[in-house]
Amino acid sequence: MNEKSNLIITIGRQYGSGGRIVGKALAEELGIHFYDEEILTITSEQSAVGEVFFRLADEKAGNNLLYRIVSGLKPQLGRPSTDADIVKPENLFRFQSQVIKELAKEESCIIAGRCADYILSRDEENVPGLVKIFVYADTPTLVQRTMEVDKVDEKEAAKRVKKINKERKEYYRYYTGENWEDWNNYDLIINTSRIDLEQTARLIKDYIKLRGIEA
């Protein structure tokens, strides 16, 4: 490489594994931006599609509720028929994918979820500084962390863990045709049941150093 490449870290994460906390801590350590839900806002601004639609579809497979919502709004708003097509899940994913590619091109950063590992892997020759991470934990740890972060009881936490991780798995398969939990899709897989989240961030930082990639 003739010039320094951006360091792009993608973090796939089970709900309750602490992936967001790890990502934010790592971003602070490296002095780069961390993008999670912020991607929804950026995509909304660039596509002129309301952020609410991206939130409804966020890491959920083929949410056809969006199509029904916009179709229902059309008569009142007098919008063209193409509006319903714009917010089809596949188009929202395309908008979001473009934003992810642009972020990777513009700056070193960390991107949480949203198939970023897959999207950027397909263009890896243009993203040589790509590092794909997946963090997971055993079920008791996922539930305990969800109880602590979401301030809910054990029953509700277990329900959320099961539901959201199922949605993330289906979302990944829907848009990539691959298995979200296939370790072959990632460079480094970390069980956060065994080490705390600060240690996880340091482990990723050490791994990046061993790879010889700089932010």
Q: Which residues pair with 35 in a beta bridge?
A: 111
Q: pTM for this structure?
A: 0.79
Check residue 73 and give its pLDDT.
Answer: 37
Q: Which of 60, 177, 186 is nearest to 117 (CA)?
A: 186
- How many domains would you assign to the chain? 1
Within a domain: 40: yes
Within a domain: 96: yes
Check residue 180 and give its pLDDT.
Answer: 95
Within a domain: 103: yes
Check residue 97 and give its pLDDT.
Answer: 85
Burial of 177 (0-12, 13-18, 19+ CB in 10 A): exposed
Within a domain: 1: no
Q: Which of 11, 12, 15 is nearest to 166 (CA)?
A: 15
- Cα Rg of the chain (Å, integer): 18
Q: Write the CATH number for 109.
A: 3.40.50.300
Check residue 79 and give its pLDDT.
Answer: 40
Within a domain: 28: yes
Within a domain: 165: yes
- Which residue range(s) make up the domain with 129? 8-209
Within a domain: 2: no
* Per-residue model confidence as pLDDT tens for the chain (215 residues): 446 789 999 999 999 999 999 999 999 999 999 988 765 555 555 544 544 444 444 544 444 433 343 344 333 333 434 455 555 767 778 877 888 888 888 889 999 988 999 999 987 667 889 999 999 999 999 999 999 999 999 999 999 999 999 999 998 998 899 999 999 999 999 999 999 999 999 999 999 999 988 76
Check residue 36 and give its pLDDT.
Answer: 80
Check residue 66 and give its pLDDT.
Answer: 36
Within a domain: 214: no
Check residue 85 and give its pLDDT.
Answer: 57
| Paired tokens of 72 | 């229902």
